[in-house]
Structure 1
Amino acid sequence: MTAHTDTARMPAEYMPEPVPGPRAQALVARDREVIAPLGRVYPLAIDHAQGCEVWDVDGNRFLDMNAGIAVLAAGHCHPRLIKVAQEQLQRFTHMAGTDFYNEPMVRAAEKLVSLMPGGKDWQVFFTNSGTEAVEASIKLARYATGRQNIIAFYGAFHGRSYGSLSLTASKPRQRRGFFPLLPGVSHTYYPNCYRCPINLQFPSCEIACLDLIERTLFKTTTPPEEVAAIIIEPIQGEGGYVVPPPGALARLRSICDRYGILLIVDEVQSGIGRTGKMWAFEHEGIVPDIVASAKGLGGGLPLGAMIARTELARQWQPGSHGNTYGGNGLTCAVAYELLCMVEEELMANAATVGAYLLEQLQALQQRFPQIGAVRGRGLMIGVEFVDDQGNPAGALADAVMEESFRKGLLVLTCGASTIRFCPPLTVTMAQVDEAVARFALAIEACVAG
């Protein structure tokens, strides 16, 4: 195993050994025997990590632009989080927050509320994951409104448990074999101006895709007075890192207000400082009714949260919803420290370094006509690959992702043909330079000849 301090920063074209190495191959074989199919995309077998760097079991070093799919907001093994976790492990780890009280749970909730619009009049329900936060949001919306229907968007990813899967509309394989799903769910078009769903271009269309909610859904299949909530990702994640045009979320907020519908914002991937603000919806100046959070919230530990306006949350009677591990002492202690770090410095770094990363990737777009679009906010950036006709080039995106791995860079695809960059919020400009250099080498290898 190569020690962190002994590993010199490698030139962008260099990897010491072919990947996967023999130890990684052996671990993959063992995994195949005992782990149910999960859909791994390339054979990274991690041994240890620090900050934005990962070493595999064969000693190969990688630059991490995944952060465990936007989970490791403070990077791998941040000393502040390790210290808090060690201290909490010596006090207690778990005492069933739905049945008893504990200070780390209250403290983390207080911190979350302070970071919401207005800094008060919100209440928190802790979960173990993003899909559970979405499930809680669905239940509360139905319970508080007395209505049943939910509207979501094509391209959305809200999770894979039954309620959240019913809202998910990202890829057919995620739903295939699991019908019937939750009744009362309708989908409409997400405002994606690069691939306008109704063949118009912003600003001339004036976000006409959202008008279809009133013009089509409400007049055909979904009476507005029976809609409990509309749920949206302020930046669509799995659907391709799609940033809606300015005014889209405000338009949606006005539709909800007109018909007494709750607005649920899924910030599982985009929240906790990733876009340069604590919540991505803040870029649009709107206030949702319910927010689903997870991923970055736990600093690498499994934690999610449903955050709802107090007047809604208090309508739940005790026992209306609950779970065993939500409010776990260990995860909440780490979450509090992580939220402090995000507020103090990490979301500002995401804004500054994210703008630099966006600029460098846009420069690559000038070099490679196969890059059709580069978009994002903060450290949530997507690079969409296209063919000669401008259609999604999924096979090329997959090839670039796999070649990046061989070049020592960890990235993942999303949408039809987009590669996402969602590194730890601690990433530096020097690491961005290295990542973009490796990414360029991967693209060159895939488009050569």
Structure 2
Amino acid sequence: MTILTKEQTKRICDRVLSYSKADECIVGVSGSRNGNIRFARNAVSTAGLAEDTTVSVQVAFGNRQGTASINEFDDKSLEKVVRRAEDLARLAPENPEFMPTVGKQDYKPSATFNAKTAAIDPEYRAQAAAYAIEACRKNKLVAAGFFTDGTSFSSVANSKGVWGHQDQTMLDFTCTVRTEDGRGSGWVKRSATDAARFDPREAADVAIEKALRSVEAKALEPGRYTVILEPAATSELLGFMLFGFNARQTDEGRSFLSKKGGASRLGDKLFDEKVNVWADPWNTDVPVLPWDQESLLARQRMDLIKNGKVNALQYSQFWAKKKGVQPTAMPGNIIMAGTDKTTADLIASTKKGILVTRTWYIRMVDPQSVLLTGLTRDGTFYIENGKIKYPIKNFRFNESPVTMLNNIEEIGKPVIIGGDEVPFQMSIPPMKVRDFNFTSLSDAV
């Protein structure tokens, strides 16, 4: 009963709404079937399939709210979960920022489901792991990785006529390859909605090549360098910054977009004019649900940065009412414009610079400027005269993505970055950035 049809979830939602005696009621029905295979030290360590289905009910009496969930779907159980939510609402304190649930929304379907991904089976997962393992054994390397795929559904309804249902698929693959002596390391990440866009051989080959090339790393003096950042190296950095595009945080002085006196930097040019960033649930590379799962507002395309200028802020229902503007749904994805240039093209046009495969252990230093600190890892290389010259030891960096996006020299072709490591589904390009600030060396590979 894990993957329910639209008709089945509609019946469940209708039954739940019919049982409710509250002023308003919101129902969510969701389920997933997630498969995985994990490997380490050139051998499969675990594999499995997890299934789950849940009904959640949120009710309100005035501005008192209660929420309950259950994984049983007979009528008696559905009525029970409604009564539990109502009992909790009567006991809850009043919420001074309570907002009534939204009225009927127009949810335009997005392309979140792919039949080929939904058909992934244990043999497919085993083959994805097998290539990395066998290739590493041949090259006297050691592989560790994780492949996961999922098919899921989400349905939402409320007592004001909202109704939406959508099926989703996804896959995510990460692989770390080390030399036997631990002196070289390579890493790769691939994400997709459509399994046809995933090639496990191509992915593993990238990690293998970087592991082989990263042996005998040389120390380079810390300082400011021109860097080529692969998408995986920038995804988390950008995530920290994009959370600042929140109207309330900005108005209350808690965002890098805040000005003194309560004003915002909306309309200001803070980035290079090549920078264009937007959210779009119907993007075919990183499609997401057409509704915000928290507010149930229908998502729309939102241009956050246009030609380097701050173009939009996200308004919650509460803050929108306070400011007398229309509320906006939370973005589910982030897309950044790019070009047709590959990472190799960016390297070829670089006289002197550093290629960064990945950043990790990132922490906030200063929220007002989005100054972050972190480390490079799993393949960092020195570039000279358009070619990778030799591997270098990893660095700690202190840098702000705001400054980084203002120092862009070239942008490449966007790739999909998803999974648990990033706050949004992303389509972002590799970037060549000047004056990236490396503050010290790290002995980790």
TM-score for the superposition, normalised by structure 1: 0.25
Q: Report the structure, 1 or 2, having the larger strand content.
A: 2
Larger radius of gyration: 2
Q: Comparing both chains, which one has the higher relative contact order based on Cα–Cα distances under 8 Å and sequence gaps of 6 or more?
A: 1
Given the two structures, how large is their TM-score scaled by the length of structure 2? 0.25
Report which of the two has the higher share of helix. 1
